[in-house]
Structure 1
Amino acid sequence: MNKIFTAFIVGAMVLGVLVGWGVNHFLTPEQAKGVAENLTIVTDVFLRLIKMIIAPLVFSTLVAGIAHMEDAASIGRVGIKTMGWFISASIVSLLIGLFMVHLIHPGAGMGLVQDPSTIAGAVDATKLTLKEFVTHLVPKSIVEAMANNEILQIVVFSIFVGTAVSSLDDKAPAVTALVDQIASIMLKVTGYVMKTAPLAIFAALAATVATQGLSVLADYAKFVLGFYASLGVLWALLSALLILIVGKRAINLLRAVRQPALLAFATASSEAAYPRTLEELQKFGLSRRISSFVLPLGYSFNLDGSMMYCTFAVLFIAQAYGIEMSIGQQITMLLLLMVTSKGMAGVPRASLVVIAATLAYFDLPEAGLLLILGVDHLLDMGRSATNVLGNSVAAAVVAKWEGQIEEPTEDGASPKPA
């Protein structure tokens, strides 16, 4: 069944590109825009369906995962291991981006001249401040946080609730049973929503190609291909580490996350793949308490693809304008991105906001952001899929360290202890 669904997703991607090219090639720009707007109705509805289930799913799975832990010491131990992996993965992602952009030199030879024109309104970098990030962590109201799908705030509230339940002598069995049942219901709803994924993927790609055409790939070929080559290096390294730590079964995990990664790639939204990723990890054999704890945190603190993109894009813009950054400046940039990237969750067009703030910090031409806006959606597809892989690897590694990887049954639905 999984192979058939994967085939539908791949077929939808190919058909979407072909239909989009046909619309772009044979219709006028105005007509193509109209067709694209109608196609995006399907994508918007699908993303709304995903957002509809994100808040209750994150809350129920995270609270249940923490509540089933033995004690506060267990929660702290898993939390330290999780954040340790996140920080290490972040450093590796940033360094790979730095190395690859120097190796490929995607902006070399463009010879752009600094222009006083501004990009006001393109992104709002003023949101990226320490005060905004810290205060954004804590919800004023959990109802408001859920209504706005503020994942980071939901995670913070869920950690408090789950820790409180875990610390009670009787573990509040009624509450624990309730959140377990809610999580099961939401996973079933997820299954219904995911059946419409191929339609959404087709519509998303067709709309993008219909308005921008395939020529956008040729115009930025070196930048786009260079970034995807960098993602390939990161994917290879993450996969190798996964196999080294988890063992040969890691191959099955990589197969299991193909569908969520394809979904994230086609919709350019790692959030859209969250429910399916959680489901596949549990089918693989990761204990619910680990996957439900690590995965939501990963969507706030472990955006490997997005962090690599920030490094790659900033230095690409510097190269395009012929600006040399010293080693000290580049190290400072890595440290800055290490901190600011942790505030991406919940910020619209987060990567662009981080890049804009970094350009301003180093007095690089902010107009250079216009260079990447045209292909940002295409690159967002790759980094969204990478975020899914990075978070899946993180969950599997922490589960292995905790001895919480189980052997799945034949139908893959109910893991049993090894």
Structure 2
Amino acid sequence: MKNFLKTYKSVIILLVAIIIGTIVGLVFKEKAAILSPFGDIFINLMFIIIIPLVFLSITTAIAKMKQPKRLGKIMVITVIMFLLTGLIALLVGVFSTYKVKLIETKDSETIKNSLVSVEEQEQKDKKEDESILQIVANTLTVNDFSKLLSKSNIIALIVASILFGIAMNMAGDSAKPVEEFLDSCYAIILKLNQIVIWYAPIGLGCYFATMVGKFGESIAVGYAKLFVIYTIVALLFYVVFYTICAFIAGGKRGVVAFWKNIIPSTLTAVGTCSSAACIPVNIEASRKMGISDDISGTVVSLGTSFHKDGSMIGSVFKIMFLVCLFGINPGIGQIIGVSILANLLITGVPIGGGTISEMLILTMMGFPLQALPILTVIATLIDAPATLLNAAGDPNVSMLVARAVDGKDWMDKNKIDNKEIKE
């Protein structure tokens, strides 16, 4: 019992804080918003850490690589794993909703009445037409160094970090002073990350109190049904699929390592509804699982933008909700195709990608544009469980990449905090 409490003390404290926050939100409702600043402090501190953590974790790992080809191998396998897990998530979304009536007729009228004109919203979100190549260029690069310091340009930061690390590797011994300096900075950032995580129980507790107090009783029956079904599917995917992946990556030890270290990341995802805010926690969790720094830094950083299991499933739920609402009968192929395109827009357009992808769903499926607010409400409702999958899936994929790159003994090669993990 003592060993259990010692091992899971931080997780238990975090869970208790969130439960207390939830109770406070249910009891005091909107008045719980007074606690919002304490939650915002935690979120803001996490965002402050993101930029240096991503840069230092990727750069230092690549600079130390003895085999330059290793980076290419990591990148290729990472992309393959992202595609495979994303496709599986998409199929889970399709098969869990295709024969399910997400909304009853009596509830559909209530929701249809909530439709408002989106003409002003369309004008607000309308941007200059850009070619695909221009979108790619604007996503991968920025025109000013200072813009790399914004979390909105995280993909460009990853690219710059990889290039900087490669340049350091090529410079050889002359880059040693810089490498040592960045190593020291990385060690400091990791300690700073620990300090911020110590504040997590207070921050997340207050965040949950505010969130529950604001949205606890403001959900229509139809939306509530979708939320419940999506949450069940997300939790099953989270427990079953990620356990299978962890077992494939490391056997029983892999499963133990994953579930021992993923809970803080899970709670952060649910509490903040931000994949970016989970980057520091995910990198720390990956290191504790025994994943090498170059793999964890690359996969977690890229996964924040390009690996979204929860969003994949969510896109299918949005489509099927409108299918039930408006009484149409699309084919599975059409649903899968539109969902893939919608998620490509979310990842390819960091700012406003969600709204653009929802407009694409409406247009390609033939739904009225006035239904945009419905998709916005759904996106808000499923945000927490979707972020849970988006965030928790990254360390999970990191394990698979580590298995493919470092071999079956990857956990022993990269011992960090796995001494307590036994067969």
If the length of structure 2 is used for normalisation, what is the TM-score? 0.86
Note if contact 2:358-2:375 (Cα within 8 Å) is conserved in structure 1: no
1:14 maps to 2:10: no
By how many angstroms is 1:83 displaced?
A: 0.7
Q: 1:333-353 deviations in whole A, cap 9, x for unaligned?
A: 144135324325x325x5444
1:130-145 map, 5 Å: 130=132, 131-145=134-148
Q: Report the identity percentage.
A: 24
By how many angstroms is 1:128 displaced?
A: 9.8
Q: 1:171-207 deviations in whole A, cap 9, x for unaligned?
A: 7222222222211111100111111111121222211
1:257 maps to 2:258: no
1:76 corresponds, among 48, 52, 72, to 72
1:336 corresponds, among 338, 341, 353, to 341
Distance verdict in 2 for CA 1:412–1:394, change over 3 Å? same
The separation in 2 between residues aligned to 1:269 and 1:38, in whole angstroms, is: 21
By how many angstroms is 1:256 displaced?
A: 0.8
Q: 1:336-394 deviations in whole A, cap 9, x for unaligned?
A: 135324325x325x544422332233331333332354464442111111122210111
Q: 1:125-170 deviations in whole A, cap 9, x for unaligned?
A: 7589634354222121232221455211110111111122223343
Which residue of structure 2 lines up, in the alignment, with residue 322 of structure 1? 327
1:220-231 map, 5 Å: 220-231=223-234
Distance verdict in 2 for CA 1:290–1:50, change over 3 Å? same
Distance verdict in 2 for CA 1:212–1:321, change over 3 Å? same
Q: Which moved more, 1:194-203 or 1:107-116?
A: 107-116
**Residue 272 of structure 1 aligns to a residue in which SS?**
helix
1:262-341 map, 5 Å: 262-341=267-346
Note if contact 1:6-1:259 (Cα within 8 Å) is conserved in structure 2: yes
Between the two proteins, the alignment pairs up a number of residues equal to: 404
Distance verdict in 2 for CA 1:290–1:19, change over 3 Å? same
1:14-53 map, 5 Å: 14-24=19-29, 32=30, 35-53=31-49
1:238 maps to 2:234: no
Residue type at the aligned position of 2:200: A
The separation in 1 between residues aligned to 2:357 and 2:185, in whole angstroms, is: 36
By how many angstroms is 1:314 displaced?
A: 2.2
Q: Which moved more, 1:400-409 or 1:101-110?
A: 400-409
1:186 maps to 2:189: yes
**Residue 323 of structure 1 aligns to a residue in which SS?**
coil
Distance verdict in 2 for CA 1:155–1:413, change over 3 Å? same
1:332-371 map, 5 Å: 332-343=337-348, 346-347=350-351, 350-371=353-374
Q: Which moved more, 1:213-222 or 1:1-10?
A: 213-222
| RMSD (CA atoms) | 2.8
If the length of structure 1 is used for normalisation, what is the TM-score? 0.87
Structure number having the greater helix percentage: 2
The separation in 1 between residues aligned to 2:399 and 2:309, in whole angstroms, is: 16
The separation in 1 between residues aligned to 2:229 and 2:190, in whole angstroms, is: 37
Note if contact 2:140-2:156 (Cα within 8 Å) is conserved in structure 1: yes
Deviant stretches of 4+, over 6 Å: 408-411
Residue type at the aligned position of 1:11: V
Note if contact 1:200-1:267 (Cα within 8 Å) is conserved in structure 2: no
The separation in 1 between residues aligned to 2:208 and 2:217, in whole angstroms, is: 11
By how many angstroms is 1:2 displaced?
A: 5.0
2:59 corresponds, among 43, 53, 63, to 63
Note if contact 1:295-1:392 (Cα within 8 Å) is conserved in structure 2: yes
Note if contact 1:65-1:293 (Cα within 8 Å) is conserved in structure 2: no
